[in-house]
A and B are shown apart, each in its own frame.
Chain A
């Protein structure tokens, strides 16, 4: 392994030096080390950026800058009338990357697709446990093991996916990084050599960039894939400079040590905006932050009480204090950039007087409650403690005494999902695939009570709408159902919807062609840099 990587690196240098006169290198300051290079094994966004969006492709992908599905390795597809059979026609002539560690002898075919699926759920597949503790977390998290009947080859360039029941969000799921398409030929070679673990260290796919080397915790290097089916990239080399501290990333960007950075501190954004050499790209993130009441515990089982509490909180003040403007107040459980967002829904108006009266009318006096504040900053909520303090003082104005509690993060995630949780919990969600189902059913469905449904809220009207929408392939029909579900949600108020944060990407003015992904991915296909 060591020898191989040294050899590899040496060759890479030779290539690098030979082409250094004209080579265009793009450096991206990324926020964390990838967990590995097999996107099926992990859940971290940094891993998907480093492996899935550079080295690999999927059957379908999200059109740049949107959550719309477009053809990728599959040129076209057909869905059977009962919504249970998806037939994909593969793009002909797609070449796998040629690297120092592997030279492919054939082009992409149905075997590669079947391999990429089966390794993630068939226990008898040799690759199912190829690294210790391989768990295919996303594959199972999205419910695919229970959903898939089979994945079969029709001919060399046709694959059929058969489901046990109709599931409209499937296409969006197939655009997600975890189901990237790997080379079966490469896998067979690694298996024959007894070096299966290299699949997670030396990735090989069909994507725009070819993996060159990973220097742990320091940098990842790629070069443009000359055989890429989507055309060779304008930049020659792509480097991820791993820089965990956000303030340091900002300094690196300002100093020209990288051309683009992820996740700036909210406090640094103003300074970055003022820098004449930088551009700032902003986009509403595909996320929501909320305060979930425990609707199983009195008096929070009463709609009037939840409504009154919602009306007592000045959400604009929270957004201003926590995000310094880089967020918008949320009224729906899905963000405004998502299809089926119902803009006609009216938010609970901030009115402490009315709120106080509503509580009295509901017969609730001297209410004492707990507010759970997350101990960590997440993109949708940068400072839960601060938000909780503001809520605490707002609630005091209507005579409610709130106590703020917090737990260590892993513990918080676990305890907050308990059905008998004492108090309302601040939490949030970032969309996986741009499908409303990924918010509405995942976070508020009856099945998710005791799990992702932190409000422990099971409402038949809402659940029926969302379930029906899941089984319908027609987007217009689904849109109507989701719009209606949002009305039910607002009427019932299981959450106080807090905010949708903006995703901010600062970059050098020399960078062109970078399109921000609503899913929060950093995709460098199509990026160029001026000399």
Chain B
């Protein structure tokens, strides 16, 4: 019986012979990345320069800088060179892995990115795990109980979650859970009582390695609210996507056949239907990476989470050209890589995509 179940519908494990089409597919995708990379670099470079003001002007605040001094400092920073020279200089740097140094802090952009990115990654991973673990079951339940009060309330909550302004939502949670109830800490990554060297940059892991009693528990407690806030929108999107994909699949002939064969409802829904419904859901999850990074900017600001979102926002305000263009490039590269992985995974699950 168990073996027989695989004959229904296009199985996820069904494969064409050989790896060649898969490799061709991957290389094809990689080739597309080159123009994308160039395009992003141009946008990153020009976007920050299109904003009025320049980093030198902002250095002195209310105190007006003499025009001669302004010219001198712009020259020192190489910002008086023609735009195309600056662009090719920056592009040349990118190719050799040199992302330049921050105009404000004078630290190398790559160092700061590597230092701060684990915090963003840790938060985003936790958020996406929560979103998937709650979103898929919620979507499945809503689809199965279609039209009932349960479906309507789940989707109602999802709609509210989807439209939630993150900043307001975060503050609300802080005021209620941290301020009023005192259950969770307000902001930061771990209690200031604990202090240990950054090894992996993931606070959950580092706190365990540190061997300090209570450190891990503290790190978890600091992670709860930001995770909830960041997971809210992807959770809502995944739940809605799962529901609609499930509804489509539940109407398919092979599901009806499976049902009529007398398979248990759990098996029909959990194995036959969900497996196929997951294909578009995985795409959605992949697309949420961009949403997560956008959400991370606000979440990190509210929760004083030392990640790249907060870092980028500060740099835009200070017109720190090097950080903004370098940071955007690094973030874009991350998203491109993740999308590539999702594409490949998708091609792997669904052979039709490869051709």
Contacts and interface: CB of A to CB of B under 8 A. Distances in A.
Given A13-B197, A135-B73, A218-B189, A413 B302 contact: no
Q: State the main secondary structure of chain B at its contact with A.
A: loop
Contacts of B174: 248, 251
Nearest to B103: A133
B178 to A, nearest CB: 6
A521 B311 CA distance: 24
A11 B91 CA distance: 41
B288 interface: no
Contacts of B57: 410, 413-414
A255 B287 CA distance: 37
Interface stretch (A235-243, A389-397, A485-493): A235-243
Contacts of A218: 188-189, 304, 306
Interface in B175-213: 175, 178-179, 182, 185-189, 191-193, 195-199, 210, 212
Given A132-B101, A216-B112, A241-B188, A411 B53 contact: yes
A452 B62 CA distance: 8
Q: State the main secondary structure of chain A at its contact with B.
A: mixed
B17 interface: no
Give chain A's interface residue range (CB within 8 Å of chain B).
35 or more
B186 A217 contact: no
A25 B302 contact: no
Interface in A425-475: 427-430, 442, 448, 451-452
A254 B304 contact: no
Nearest to A130: B106
Given A9-B195, A409-B53, A257 B185 contact: yes
A407 interface: yes
B304 A243 contact: yes
A130 to B, nearest CB: 9
Contact of A135 (B59, B212, B307, B310): B59
B178 A241 contact: no
A153 B172 CA distance: 60
Interface residues of B, number: 58
Contacts of B59: 43, 135, 137
Given A133-B77, A408-B52, A251 B62 contact: no
A413 B60 CA distance: 10
Interface stretch (B63-71, B121-129, B130-138, B254-262): B63-71
Most chain A C-beta atoms within 10 Å of own C-beta, residue among B77, B186, B319: B186
Interface string A213-248: 101111101000000000000000001011111011
Given A215-B198, A218-B188, A410-B53, 20 more contacts: A6-B198, A10-B197, A33-B314, A35-B105, A133-B73, A135-B73, A135-B76, A141-B60, A141-B63, A200-B106, A215-B306, A216-B112, A216-B311, A242-B304, A245-B301, A248-B187, A255-B179, A257-B186, A410-B52, A452-B62
Interface of B: 51-54, 57-66, 69, 73, 76-77, 101, 103-107, 112, 115-116, 171, 174-175, 178-179, 182, 185-189, 191-193, 195-199, 210, 212, 301-304, 306-307, 310-311, 314, 319
